[in-house]
Chains A and B, each alone.
Chain A
Amino acid sequence: MRVKNRLSSYPILNRYDQSSHDFREECTILSKITLHSEFENYVCDVEFDINCPSIEALIRQDLARYCVHVESPSSCYREEYLNKEKTFHFSFRNTLVNESIEINTFIVLIKDIPNYHLPEFHVDYENASFDLRKHQIIAIGDAVKYPCSKKEMDKLSSIIKIRRIDNDIDGVMTVNTDDDSNCIFVGLQSEIFDSYCRLGKNDYRKTVLSLVLFPALVVILERMYLAYKNSEEDTISKHWYEVIENQLEKNNIKIANLDIQHSDLLKVAQSLFGEPIRSAFNELDNIAMGGE
């Protein structure tokens, strides 16, 4: 579940939305979420920290509850955990989830509240009241996302796989981003693949990787940009797209801002891969100096 920042028809205390002015500035909600593995289960510890006395009172009066929503979209697992206490924990079987676990936190009503009005509302809502119903959200806390299968899942190299191709109809090198959700296949024509395997094992590893992966990554980034621009859900929803997007965002790069007309793609591919061209030439230099 992704909680999007949208205007709502009534005030919601929102951890992430600093601009909506639904509540007075001093009102805050935070939630600390930790997830760890214990044998065949995942155990989640949650601690809410809220500075809004009226909402806390609603919980004490059994009108609202702290709520944690857990979802693993690719395994169709969704569950919610409600509690009166600020701190609680729960567990679920690890066989229920796959790829990633998304955890969102809320405070939700468990009974209807006609004429909902809190003294902590922003002054704009001074005279406003709302008829709210059971299950409506009145506060949104922190959210986290955990990868949950292979340890290496976040590393770029595990989602790009270099394989032999049987023919060179499409050239000596291909980049296949369509056929698999989890990874991208870089195909090398048979003879070239043999050279890659032979040379890549020893002294020329960085050079070989740079020759193969760097151009592939430029192609991949361009396809990601176009998929984003054309709202191609099939591509955007793929796991490899998400992993690369996360890597980019960690480096403050947004796909929407990539300028494929200029040298942005080269620059981004370089930084994503730890300057492969420089590494390759350093490697060649070392080999050349060693051979003199």
Chain B
Amino acid sequence: MSKINYLATEAIEDFKLNFQTYKHYFLNEKNDDLLELCLQNNWLHETNIDYPRITLNMNDDYSISDRANVEILYEGMKNLPHSYATDERFWLGLIISTDFWDYVIYRRRAELQTKKDEEVKNSFLFTRGIKRSNYINCVSRLWWAGKLCYDPDSIDHYRTADLICESAFASNMILLSSSNVTANNHVFLGIIDCLLDRQKKGEKIGRYHYVNALRYLNSIGSTFLIDTLSRQEVSHIVDTGLRKLGTKQTKTID
């Protein structure tokens, strides 16, 4: 099995600084030209990570493909070290040198068709802070969603991904990136347990639920060490918080 290539820092810097020079490569349906350029300039280098040989789902309905791909990508690269998983060079190397390029073209079709610089850049390059960029990029966010959602205690390890992918996956990921507390797996699963429970009882889960759950946890974080809470305790606290705040209100917490 071959290894994944990463893209050299100098290449990324050149792409960003002289974006107008390279923009037409990023608007191509195929990566052949850009890949050739990178090879000519010796910009691609081998990592010690095996290429997973996975096939991403490209259903017309993004809610179906996002959900499937969270599982496909994370299962295929579950042992990826965090230091790689946060690295733009790794993800861009993967996108440019493999058929992950086709996935980006598929998933960002509407944005790329605008040909606006920011939309094209955001489709490939990391232009925000490290964490936020990882949650925005259409490939890396699949891995990070898989990492967040992976439930070792459930037979269906990715059942929590059903909720965040069913609508507004991109927005949900950006929301989740805004809170560091979700980096703790059992805290995140506790939040989602509560929301899934409410959904089962007939409540429609939306942005307000994520915002208020995170807001409530943040507010009690000044006196509670959230990370020491069990998953069940987190779920109970979030449920209490949502009841206090109301699911569609934005009043401040007492």
Q: Mark B123-140, 1 if CB is under 8 A from A, else 0.
A: 001111111110000000
Q: Which of B14-22, B34-42, B55-63, B101-109 contacts its partner?
A: B14-22
Q: Which of B65-73, B165-173, B197-205, B221-229 contacts its partner?
A: B221-229
Shortest distance from the beta carbon of B8 to any chain A beta carbon, whole Å: 13
Cβ A179 vs Cβ B222 within 8 A? no
> Which interface class (under 10, 10 to 19, 20 to 34, 35 or more) fits A?
35 or more
Q: Mark A86-130, 1 if CB is under 8 A from B, else 0.
A: 000000001111110000001010000000000000000000000
Cβ A165 vs Cβ B18 within 8 A? yes
Q: Mark B176-212, 1 if CB is under 8 A from A, else 0.
A: 0000110110000000000000000000000000000
Q: B82 in the interface, Cβ–Cβ < 8 Å?
A: yes
Shortest distance from the beta carbon of B14 to any chain A beta carbon, whole Å: 7
In the complex, which of the residues A76, A181, A185 contacts B82, with contact meaning CB atoms closer than 8 Å?
Answer: A76
Cβ B13 vs Cβ A76 within 8 A? no
In the complex, which of the residues A72, A78, A183 contacts B184, with contact meaning CB atoms closer than 8 Å?
Answer: A78
**CB within 8 Å of A: which B79-96 residues:** 81-87
Cβ A136 vs Cβ B224 within 8 A? yes
Residues from chain B with Cβ under 8 Å of A71 in the complex: 180, 183
Q: How long is the Cα–Cα vector from A182 to B128 in the complex, in angstroms? A: 10
Q: How long is the Cα–Cα vector from A161 to B225 in the complex, in angstroms? A: 40
Q: B159 in the interface, Cβ–Cβ < 8 Å?
A: no
- B interface SS class: helix
Q: Which of A4-12, A22-30, A252-260 contacts its partner?
A: A4-12
Residues from chain A with Cβ under 8 Å of B14 in the complex: 163
Known: A76-B131, A76-B147. A95 touches B83 (CB 8 A): yes
> Which interface class (under 10, 10 to 19, 20 to 34, 35 or more) fits B?
35 or more
Cβ A75 vs Cβ B227 within 8 A? no
**CB within 8 Å of B: which A66-80 residues:** 67, 69, 71-80
Cβ B225 vs Cβ A135 within 8 A? yes
Cβ A136 vs Cβ B13 within 8 A? no
Q: A218 in the interface, Cβ–Cβ < 8 Å?
A: no
Q: B74 in the interface, Cβ–Cβ < 8 Å?
A: no
Q: How long is the Cα–Cα vector from A79 to B85 in the complex, in angstroms? A: 18
Cβ A69 vs Cβ B127 within 8 A? no
Q: B119 in the interface, Cβ–Cβ < 8 Å?
A: no
Closest to B224 in A: A135
Residues from chain A with Cβ under 8 Å of B86 in the complex: 74-76, 98-99
Closest to B176 in A: A76
Closest to A94 in B: B83
Residues from chain A with Cβ under 8 Å of B215 in the complex: none
Shortest distance from the beta carbon of A238 to any chain B beta carbon, whole Å: 6
Q: B100 in the interface, Cβ–Cβ < 8 Å?
A: no
Shortest distance from the beta carbon of B197 to any chain A beta carbon, whole Å: 21
Closest 6 CB pairs of A and B: A95-B81, A76-B183, A179-B16, A75-B82, A74-B130, A237-B129
B-side residues, CB < 8 A to A, are 12-14, 16-21, 81-87, 121, 125-133, 144, 147, 180-181, 183-184, 222-229, 233
With contacts A67-B225, A74-B86 known, what are 10 further pairs, Cβ within 8 A?
A: A71-B180, A78-B180, A95-B83, A135-B233, A149-B83, A179-B16, A180-B16, A180-B126, A185-B13, A185-B17
Q: List 19 A-B contacts (CB under 8 A).
A: A1-B180, A76-B180, A78-B181, A95-B84, A96-B81, A98-B82, A98-B130, A106-B225, A135-B226, A149-B83, A163-B17, A167-B20, A176-B16, A178-B127, A181-B126, A181-B127, A187-B17, A234-B128, A237-B128
